[in-house]
Structure 1
Amino acid sequence: MMEEIFIHRILALFPNAVARKFLLTLMFILVFWVIYFSSKDLEKFLVSLRNPITLNHWNTFRKSFYPEVPPDPEFSPTETELRIKGVMEKLDQLSSTTSTTHSKATLLSPQDTYCRGDQLDVLLEVRDHLGRRKEYGGDSLRARMSSPALKAGASGKVTDFNNGTYLVSFTLFWEGRVSLSLQLILPREGVSALWRARKQGYDRVIFTGQFARGTSRVLSKCGLTLHSSAELCEYLHYCDQEAFYCVKPAHVPCEALTHVTTRNASISYLREKEWILCRRSNMGLEIMKDFTSIEVLPCNKSINIETKCQLGRKTPFPSGYTVKRRWIAAFCKQIELNETKNINDCLKRKLIYLMGDSTLRQWIHYLQKVVKTLKCFDHHGAAIFKTHVLLDAERHILIQWKKHGHPFITKNLFSVKDENYIPREIDQVAGDNDTAIVITLGQHFRPFPIKIFIRRAIYVQKDIECLFLRSPETKVILKTENTRGVSQNAEMFSDFHGYIQNLTMRDIFVDLNVDIIDAWDMTIAYNTDNAHPPDYVIGNQINMFLNYIC
């Protein structure tokens, strides 16, 4: 009663209606203020105002990428909302990427019975994490069929229709129980991120040069490009404009550079949300995990290939398959050269030059173990990347491996005293009917802008053309890159980079009479996922090479 009399008296002081409304508003604010600051748990009250209202669907999705962070009471509600908005924007972008769970793979023309030699086709429709159909292609996919009990495997062929659908084709090379696999290596958005990041610069790898100064050593920064105001040493090959630079050490001539080593820099050109796509746990995910295996029967069908493996034949994809770890070419008839006598007969009077990275050095180590008559010739030099030479004086066999020029990435110190690029090495080969050159490029080029790789491949191609003019009977074979599986550092070493380089190399050499050992195809079939596959893979690569030259 007293409260009502008090309120009426207060209102009587303000006969104007507008003034009364203003007064009531002030009184409401005053009451709220008293209640607010009389709260026994102020901090809890503040936090409760900031708790976002979320849907369970989004909460589940957020947890997979972003750990829950307790709200900070020092942030204002506005700042919290901005943080929430930022997270939601990232989720919107990630949710539009390809989902292996929601994408749909459909077996075309399913049959009760499959015969050896048949082609099996699967139509893939990719969808994003919200189940929406994607209308563009560009995903990095890898198809493989296998029979673990038979130690059998082969690549599948993926055709991108650039509209969110893909045709995946498998040739049923062998009989038995066959499993199919289709992996999403990277979604289109991850591919685009890697491609953009690769073009950014040359500084992902740190080169350190070692200069001789009397009996001591001086270290200096080096690289394919250097942005420095200091005096530089330029190591330029004038014919092809391939250059390498070092900061010139004080009182040391540029000619005193003897060794180089490298390490990876802590630099990334990927954005935070792009790194999420390129995490190892999000790469190489299986799409066809619900597919049951199929039974392939002989059906009285035989696959007889009478044409001998020889240079000049175009290599299809897949180029072959493996059964019981033996590689079987799908386009030519092989001879098994796996004994010392057979290999010696093939190699007699041969001069073989292996030019490239350590995946070709594996060849020379394998041959030394298998062919006991080949003896190692000490070419001097230190460490594992020196020039390796095998000789058989009685049969006049020489096999030499020499690493390619910069960039060469390794923590091991390697000599540059006799450093040469592959084009210059080719120039020094006389060539004849008993000379063979095997070239591989790629693994060490992945962390750099692709124009470095393209320039090197073009100059190699030009020098092979010159070699064929003076010695057209010389045999030249390109070995493609081995796959290396899902990398811890996808930005630098992803197989996506190797795949692009593989396509680039084939395009540059398409009009030359060179043959290809498709190590990319072979390592997918063997499922080795290692830049340096085991000996049984190396042995089959070498067997294909010997079939070409013998």
Structure 2
Amino acid sequence: MKSNLPQREQNSKFKIDDLFERIEKLIPKVKFTYFNRTSSGRNSKLFIANPKQQYCLGEDLVVQLDMYDYVGNKKTHGGDFLRPRLFSPELGAAVSGRIEDFNNGSYHIHFPLYWEGNCKVSILLFYPSEGVAALWRSRHSSLGVIGFFGKYEKFGKEAITPCGFKLEEKEGKEICEYIDPVYEEAFYCYKAPDFTCESLNEMKCFDPSASYLTPGEREMFQSSNIAVEIPQALPPIVVSGCNSSNFAPKPKCQMGMGSPFPSGYFYKNIWNPLYCNMTLYRTGDDFMRCLQGKNLFLIGDSTLRQFMMFFTEVVQYFRYHLSGWAGWALSLEALNIGKDLYVSYKRHGFPLEHDTFYYFKEDMYTSRQIDQRAGGKNTIFVITMGQHFRQFPLKLFIKRALNIRRAVENLYLRSPDTKVIIKSENTRELYAPVERQGDFHGYTQYLVLREVFKDLNVGFVDAWDMTVASATASVHPPGITFESILSLTFSFAC
């Protein structure tokens, strides 16, 4: 049957479906039966798969993980959501592990050895495979587990109605459609009586306490069952230089470089990308040498608002009347006339998880914000998205990511010397509600971003890898992790 969709829309749908299906193939096809039959971090076992008399710099340490359930039976399928890291506290060193899933309950975790000295292994079972399957089903059982209210305002009067990515048609209820005609992004609100659709001014979210998990499945996500450390009795792991020469020299970090996984490691509390030399940005002078004469556009969520806070409160390029996270949902602009420096922070557009009303008329999708700018050699975009999409089906996120890529491609056609940096989302708090904000949803989105932007001339800041390696559990990474995110971002920008 011939499709009636325009060719561009057909192509877009194909790309969305194709990427979604590739991610879906990673999801274990298992069903929850009894809690005691699910993977138990405490009962599972670790041992070194390639024990050696001497571990040498540049080699891999391979650890085997055998998963068992709560009654001591060996698991017969894979798909557990694990978080492995190798670290050395006294050296300020850490690296993520690469997981090889044999789909029979056993895993090999590959840890590259990038520093000399003592190393410790940590592997956390975040969610069992049965939990992963349940979260995937839950995420795609509706068009979201949070809701929205829109506020209509006219001549001093106001009315509040429900909004969302899709609304049920009801008798006597008219629905306002808010659609971007270029990128086909859309959301909807019930039209308030005696108001026009154009009079929608403010938006907020609310938690309807929606859940698509069964009572039995919820037991897997009790706090005591999340991020359980796999017990171990591994012999000491001491890495020596052996006869290996130093690692090959790396070029300066540049746009368009591919980002492997792991993409780097911490050493002496500094991130070291595997594929390039990162410039350290620590002082106001460091940043000014990079940004003087530049226009910097930060588009995304509060993890980029964190950049703006750094510029106003730490290096103090600008004065701003709010401090901390006050007014984080506001669009912000700052100008340093003496240094010819302009910085703006704007949200990525609907959806935004914000539980008080905020003025959203100035919101535009990231792709539209890119389209508005001419670009040029003195223009830098830093873009992120993810945290506010965890509550919705993955295809909505894929579509948004592909639209941003399309806008960046158009930007490069008119201004090929513009710098665009994509910052992946990062891990967040362990207590975050799993259906709304859990890290498994963030991980699938991280995979999408890596795939969508892998062959485009952008800088890719792998904040996911950084926060896993440093064991950061905060939606706004602190300390050395945030400092490294900043340094890698501006290494690409300058």
TM-score in terms of structure 1 length: 0.79
Question: 1:249 maps to what in 2?
Answer: 192
Q: Is the CA contact 2:161–2:190 (under 8 Å) kept in the aligned structure 1?
A: yes
2:106 aligned with 1:165: yes
Q: Distance in 1 between matches of 2:443 and 2:485?
A: 19
Offset at 1:538?
2.1
Q: What CA distance in whole angstroms lies between the structure 2 residues aligned with 1:118 and 1:96?
A: 36
Residue 420 in 1 paired to residue 364 in 2? yes
In structure 2, the residue matched to 1:5 is none
| Two-structure CA RMSD over aligned residues (Å) | 2.2
- Structure 1 counterpart of 2:160: 219
Displacement after TM superposition at 1:311 (Å): 1.2
Secondary structure of the residue aligned to 1:194 is helix
Q: How far apart, in 2, do the equivalents of 1:341 and 1:282 lie?
A: 46
Q: Work out the CA distance in 2 between the residues paired with 1:170 and 1:496.
A: 21
Give the equivalent residue in structure 1 for 2:125: 184
Displacement of 1:469 after TM fit?
1.2
Shift of residue 422, structure 1, vs aligned partner: 0.7
Q: What secondary structure does 1:273 align onto?
A: helix
**Contact 1:120–1:172 at 8 Å: present in 2 too?**
yes
| 1:250-289 alignment, distance < 5 Å | 250-289=193-232
Q: 1:361-440 to 2 correspondence within 5 Å?
A: 361-376=305-320, 383-440=327-384
Distance in 1 (alpha carbons) for counterparts of 2:450 and 2:432? 28
**Among 304, 320, 337, the residue aligned to 1:360:** 304
Match for 2:148 among 207, 221, 230?
207
- Once the two structures are superposed, residues 30-84 of structure 1 have per-residue CA deviations (whole angstroms, 9 ceiling, x without a partner) of xxxxxxxxxxxxxxxxxxxxxxxxxxxxxxxxxxxxxxxxxxxxxxxxxxxxxxx
Q: Secondary structure at the match of 1:321?
A: strand
State the match for 1:534 in structure 2: 478
State percent identity of aligned pairs. 39
How far apart in 2 are the matches of 1:91 and 1:238? Answer: 43
Larger radius of gyration: 1
Contact 1:377–1:388 (Cα < 8 Å) also in 2: no
Kept after mapping to 1: 8 A contact 2:63/2:109: yes
The answer on whether the counterparts of 1:366 and 1:535 sit within 8 Å (CA) in structure 2 is no
Residue type matched to 1:370 in 2? V
Verify the 8 A CA contact 1:180 1:293 in the aligned structure 2: no
Q: 1:20-419 counterparts in 2 under 5 A?
A: 93-229=34-170, 230-299=173-242, 301=244, 302-303=246-247, 305-376=249-320, 383-419=327-363
CA 1:515–1:161: 2 relative to 1, 3 Å: farther
Paired with 2:318 and 2:187, the residues of 1 have a C-alpha distance of 36
109-118 or 296-305, which moves further after superposition? 296-305
Q: What residue in structure 1 maps to residue 430 of structure 2?
A: 486
Provide Cα deviations, 1:268-298, integer angstroms capped at 9, x if missing partner. Answer: 1001111111222111111243335423334
Give the whole-Å Cα distance in 2 for the aligned partners of 1:374 and 1:299: 50
CA distance in 2, matches of 1:377, 1:241: 37
- Matches of 1:197 and 1:482 in 2, distance apart? 22
State the number of aligned residues. Answer: 458
Distance in 1, matches of 2:461 and 2:487, equals: 10
Deviation larger for 180-189 or 206-215: 206-215
Matching residue of 1:513: 457
Using CA pairs under 8 Å that are at least 6 residues apart, name the structure with larger relative contact order, 1 or 2.
2
Letter in 2 for 1:140: F
**Contact 2:318–2:336 under 8 Å retained in 1:** yes
Distance 1:335 1:384, change over 3 A: closer
Q: Structure 2 unaligned runs (5+)?
A: 1-30
Greater share of helix: 1
Q: 2:389 aligns with which of 445, 449, 472?
A: 445
After TM superposition, the structure 1 stretch with the greater mean CA deviation from structure 2, 299-308 or 188-197, is 299-308
CA contact (8 A) 2:281 2:486 kept: no
Q: Secondary structure at the match of 1:521?
A: helix
1:320-356 deviation digits (Å, cap 9, x = unpaired): 2223432222221122222222221111221111111
The amino acid that maps onto 2:179 is L
Contact 2:305 2:328 in 1 (8 A): no
Q: Partner of 1:498 in structure 2?
A: 442
Would you say the 8 A contact 1:487–1:493 is kept in 2? no
